[in-house]
Amino acid sequence: MNLNPMEQFAVKPLAGLDKPLFEIAGHPIYFTNQALLMVIVVAVSSLFLTLAVKPNRLVPTRGQSMAEMSYEFVAGMIHSATGEDGLKFFPFVFTLFIFVLCCNFFGMVPGSFTVTSQIAVTFALASFVILMVIVTGFMKHGIGFLKLFVPHAPWYLLILLVPIELISFFTRPISLSVRLFANMLAGHTMLAVFGGFVVALGTAGGVLSALSIAPMLLIVAIMLLELLVAFLQAYVFAILTCIYLNEALHLHDHH
Amino acid sequence: MVRPPSTRREGWFCAVFWDFWETVLTAPDPDRLSDLGKRLDELQTRQADRTRRPPPSQSSIAFRFATELVAALIVGGGLGWGIDWLFGHFGFHTRPAFMIVFFMLGAAAGIRNVMRAAKEINAEIAEKRSDKETGS
């Protein structure tokens, strides 16, 4: 049995699919376990959300009320963070939120794979967010969007402050992606480490075998905590997207 | 007003009885109807409270500050390194001057980020506290 806690994060081609699907500029593209999980997440979440609202009853079924609740949750979040005109980004933020949430939750299923524990995935998502912010800013304000990087200060300080603001802006995709990735990675590593304790104690024999119940109980507690973290991180990702979009939409208005 | 789902199948008597019960005995009370609006509003605000942001925990705040700081350092250092590399490409050997300067700027940006994050979190906590005091 493999007790390496990092083993679960290995991206590898699916069994029987170890030949590359195609090549892009000489790089072989495989259908990996990560790709499979993403396909499952996208398929399940879009199927659920479309089928759940199909009955469209006044008194909702359980599924419909779940779909409606997630809709209202995200709509309320966007409204409180960006105001009325932010709501046109609802599809974008809702898709991001549901994708990250489902990836986190599907990763909690034992034996599956946590897509969001890969920095490549989270950084790609965060890059989309920042691209969206930049495009929105330039579309709304034109060249005036660059005022975002010019705080109110005398000109001699601006020489110093503008690069700082620029760097601070470009930290966003990194802090956004690292936060999600590190939380998922840490949680799942912790679960695997405690799982390793259970096996190691259980096979030790004698009194120690009986003791293996302790880490097992801890795993249950950590699992609950991880469910909370899975939701919370998806939420944080979405709310920060809203906050960044708000800045692009309204520049410095809020001061 | 809740009709057991099986009454229809139990013959005409039950059906008539239930119709009588519904139309005559439990006809909507106008007071209750006007009350319904109030109760719905109440439920809605309660729902809104429940879907409000979860409170930021201590560890998540600490983690947020740490990532903001470190990410800014990485971006700053990386930008400086890139500029050095670019200049080196054109034959100016500036390494590591720009990297040092931009690393420091990155540190400043990191502190700026942390201050901004702290402001956001403070506002969030203040908002929550004022909600609790008004007792909505």
Spell out a b/e string for A48-67, using b for 16 or more CB atoms within 10 Å of the CB, else e. ebeebbeeeeeebeeebeeb
Q: Which of B54, B60, B112 sits opposite A168 (nearest CB)?
A: B112
Region B24-33: mean pLDDT is 62
Distances (CA, A) of A55 to A63, A98, B3, B5, B16: 10, 21, 22, 19, 30
What's the CA gap between B81 and A250, in Å, rounded?
A: 33
CA A213 vs. chain centroid, Å, equals: 33
Q: For residue B70, which residues of chain A lie inside 8 Å, CB to CB?
A: 178
Q: For residue A252, which residues of chain B lie inside 8 Å, CB to CB?
A: none
The per-residue pLDDT for A28 is 85
Region B6-12: mean pLDDT is 53
Q: For residue A170, which residues of chain B lie inside 8 Å, CB to CB?
A: 75, 79
**C-alpha dihedral over B78, B79, B83, B86, to 10 degrees?**
70
Helix or strand or coil: residue A21? coil
Top-ranked range on mean pLDDT: pick from A95-104, A158-167, A191-200: A95-104
Is-contact A78 A70, C-beta < 8 A? no
β-strand partners of A28? A23
Region B87-100: mean pLDDT is 90
Region A77-103: mean pLDDT is 93
Region A231-237: mean pLDDT is 93
Least confident of A22-31, A153-162, B29-38: B29-38
- Kindly determine whether residue B75 and residue A72, on different chains, have CB atoms separated by under 8 Å: no
The per-residue pLDDT for A23 is 85
Is-contact A80 A93, C-beta < 8 A? no
The per-residue pLDDT for A254 is 45
The full 3-state SS of chain B, as one line of letters, equals CCCCCCHHHHCHHHHHHHHHHHHHHCCCCHHHHHHHHHHHHHHHHHHHHHCCCCCCCHHHHHHHHHHHHHHHHHHHHHHHHHHHHHHHHCCCCCCCHHHHHHHHHHHHHHHHHHHHHHHHHHHHHHHHHHHHHHCC
Mean pLDDT of the residues in chain B: 78
What residue in B sits closest to A163 (Cα-Cα)? B105
Retrieve residue A182's tokens: 């590190």
Confidence of residue A255 (pLDDT cuts 50, 70, 90): very low
Q: Is the per-residue pLDDT at B7 higher than 50?
A: no
Retrieve residue A34's tokens: 């990560």
Q: Which of A73, A167, A236 sits opposite B51 (nearest CB)?
A: A73
The predicted model scores a pTM of 0.81
Retrieve residue A225's tokens: 């905590």
Is-contact A148 A190, C-beta < 8 A? no
Which of A197, A160, A163, A77 minimizes the C-alpha distance to B52? A77
Region A59-67: mean pLDDT is 86
Confidence of residue A25 (pLDDT cuts 50, 70, 90): confident
The per-residue pLDDT for B14 is 61
Q: Is the per-residue pLDDT at A30 higher than 50?
A: yes
Q: For residue A171, which residues of chain B lie inside 8 Å, CB to CB?
A: 68, 71-72, 74-75, 109-110, 113
Q: Which of A101, A171, A183, A228 to mutate to test the interface with B (most CBs of B within 10 A)?
A: A171
Share of chain B above pLDDT 90, in %: 34
**pLDDT greater at residue B120 or residue A180:** A180
Q: Which of B43, B46, B49, B60 to mutate to test the interface with A (most CBs of A within 10 A)?
A: B60
The per-residue pLDDT for B15 is 63
What's the CA gap between B71 and B69, in Å, rounded?
A: 6
Q: Is the per-residue pLDDT at B128 higher than 80?
A: no
What's the CA gap between B41 and A222, in Å, rounded?
A: 38
Least confident of A63-77, A83-97, A196-210, B17-31: B17-31
What's the CA gap between A76 and A72, in Å, rounded?
A: 6
The per-residue pLDDT for B55 is 64
- Kindly determine whether residue A167 and residue B76, on different chains, have CB atoms separated by under 8 Å: yes
- Kindly determine whether residue B105 and residue A236, on different chains, have CB atoms separated by under 8 Å: no
CB pairs under 8 A between A and B: 67
- Annotate A155-202 with DSSP letters as a single string: HHHHHHHHHHHHHHHHTHHHHHHHHHHHHHHHHHHHHHHHHHHHHHHH
What's the CA gap between B94 and B102, in Å, rounded?
A: 13
| Residue pLDDT, tens place only, B37-47 | 788 887 777 66
Q: Does ipTM exceed 0.95? A: no
Q: What is the DSSP letter of A28?
A: E
Distances (CA, A) of A183 to A168, B62, B72, B74, B124: 22, 13, 19, 19, 22
Least confident of A69-73, A104-108, B24-28: B24-28
Q: Is the per-residue pLDDT at B56 higher than 90?
A: no
Q: Which of B48, B71, B102 sits opposite A171 (nearest CB)?
A: B71
Q: Is A194 exposed, middle or buried (0-12, 13-18, 19+ CB in 10 A)?
A: buried
Q: For residue B106, which residues of chain A lie inside 8 Å, CB to CB?
A: 167
Q: Which of A72, A167, A243 sits opposite B105 (nearest CB)?
A: A167
What's the CA gap between A170 and B68, in Å, rounded?
A: 11
- Kindly determine whether residue A165 and residue B109, on different chains, have CB atoms separated by under 8 Å: yes
**CA gyration radius, chain A:** 22
The full 3-state SS of A132-166, as one line of letters, equals HHHHHHHHHHHHHHHHHHCCCCCHHHHHHHHHHHH
Distances (CA, A) of B136 to A50, A77, B43, B114: 34, 18, 11, 31
The per-residue pLDDT for B20 is 63
Per DSSP, which regions of A18-175 are E strands?
A: 22-24, 27-29
